[in-house]
Amino acid sequence: MLAVAQAPAAELLATRTIRERCGNITRAVEAGDSRHFRIDRSKLESAARAVADVTRRRYPSLEIPYHSRWRHFAAGRVDRKREFDRRIEHASPDDRLRAQIDLAVISVLLDAGAGAAWSYREPGTVDDYVRSEGLGVATFCAFLAGAFSASPGEPMRVDAAALTEMDEKTLGRWLQVRSDNPLLGLEGRTALLRRLGDVLETRPDQFGLTSRPAALFDRMRTLHKLPAPAILRALLEGLGPIWRADPRTGDDADTRIHGDVWRHRNAGGNGSTAGYVPFHKLTQWLAYSLFEPFEWAGHAIGDRDALTALPEYRNGGLLIDSGVLQLVDDADRAKEWNVGSEIIVEWRALTITLLDDLAQLVRAQLGRPELPLACVLEGGTWFAGREYAAKLRNGEPPLWVRSDGTVF
């Protein structure tokens, strides 16, 4: 993965650039300039109907929450937030918000594809959880137990001292990884946490003397209304250095491209960022997961739909499995692809563009024209994609992507 940079690559931090570059790729595919995909927009209506049906089944009242990590913390219909609140009931509102931000950050950063062979058993129960829900419950339990804190008297926090000492064995123990319970990308996840610890420790301008993720928003907490793009921008700029830089762009800080940003021949653009398409999937997922903590603390979230759909294999799989996207060569299903390969970059770009269009149809079918995109995803596209995958491939995605635990 690439990491987030200083100007002139700052253009790649903007959500408008995500949509512009993904739109460029989509138009090229529709013009026939693709070795990998064809688009059948006539299938969008039926795909929207599938999403609307799933949404009504999951949320009959159509009171749909955001697609966020907090949904996974409630896996198995267990109200774990109640236990979270009980443990910090005597904390100040600011400290409660800091704990919620720290939890969301650490859990989302560890939320890449777990693989089909891994599961997590919640301590004190006989309940097993898999994939994203499993990682959500696992990181929630580890957070409450102080896995990411170096302060024994304050376990519910994330700080640099704990993360910089994190090793693969320790993280694996918290996530119940064993030879008979393997987790994809454990090494990559561990390295990511150590890099986060380094950033927290070496950037007091961003993370203060506490060296914890929540400090990134200390200044913003004075505002009543927080624009969603500002939340995302703060995350991209603050956490950017945890992602590896593109080795093809040189050593100069002004020319390196960083973040969940990849090359595609039809991405378009000008100057040093030409040919790159940004996605920032995990960081956008994190921004969505901070909406609720800020709202619980009395803040309003503005411009929510400036953020995009999440370009991952459930949303993208929905498009392939519903026939909106068709593979030029069906043999591509049997191959394993790197995240930066053209077919995967193209798939993710098409996912962002087409889910904007699909969301409009879903809103119309639900009679909810103002439904935020984050709620369409939750209702929604992610679960419809999962249901298609369960019916067709025992839950596996339609394209195999080699994961290092930081994107998928």
Give the pLDDT score at 210: 86
Q: Indicate whether 190 belongs to any domain.
A: yes
Q: Indicate whether 227 belongs to any domain.
A: yes
Q: Is the confidence at residue 165, as pLDDT, over 80?
A: yes
**Within 10 Å of residue 254's Cβ, how many Cβ atoms?**
11
Q: Residue 11 — very low, low, confident or very high, per pLDDT cuts 50/70/90?
A: confident
Give the pLDDT score at 8: 43
Mean pLDDT of 50-75: 95
Which one-letter DSSP state was computed for residue 176? T
If we measure between CA atoms, which residue out of 293, 302, 295, 284 comes closest to residue 227? 302
> Across all residues in the chain, what is the average pLDDT?
90
Give the pLDDT score at 240: 83
Q: Indicate whether 2 belongs to any domain.
A: no
**Within 10 Å of residue 85's Cβ, how many Cβ atoms?**
15
Residues 6+ apart with CB under 8 A from 338: 344, 401, 402
Q: Which class for 357: exposed (0-12), middle (13-18), buried (19 or more C-beta within 10 A)?
A: middle
For β-strands 300-302 and 225-227, DSSP reports them as parallel
**Structural domain of 174:** 9-401
Q: Indicate whether 222 belongs to any domain.
A: yes
Which ranges of 175-322 does DSSP label H, i.e. alpha helix? 186-202, 204-207, 228-239, 281-296, 313-321
Based on its alpha-carbon atoms, the radius of gyration of the chain, rounded to whole angstroms, reads: 20
Q: How far is CA 46 from the centre of its chain?
A: 26
Q: Is the confidence at residue 253, as pLDDT, over 80?
A: no
Q: How far is CA 206 from the centre of its chain?
A: 22
Cα gap 1→59, rounded to integer Å: 36
Question: Model confidence over 197-246: pLDDT tens digits?
Answer: 999 999 988 888 889 999 999 888 788 899 999 999 999 989 888 876 55
Q: Indicate whether 3 belongs to any domain.
A: no
Give the pLDDT score at 244: 62
Mean pLDDT of 400-404: 79
Give the pLDDT score at 219: 85
Q: Is the confidence at residue 256, as pLDDT, over 60?
A: no
Mean pLDDT of 14-28: 96
Question: Model confidence over 267-288: pLDDT tens digits?
Answer: 999 988 999 999 999 899 999 9
**Least confident span in 15-19, 45-49, 145-149, 259-263:** 259-263
Q: Indicate whether 406 belongs to any domain.
A: no
For β-strands 261-263 and 119-121, DSSP reports them as unpaired
Q: Indicate whether 359 belongs to any domain.
A: yes
Q: Is the confidence at residue 349, as pLDDT, over 70?
A: yes
Query: What's the domain count of the chain?
Result: 1
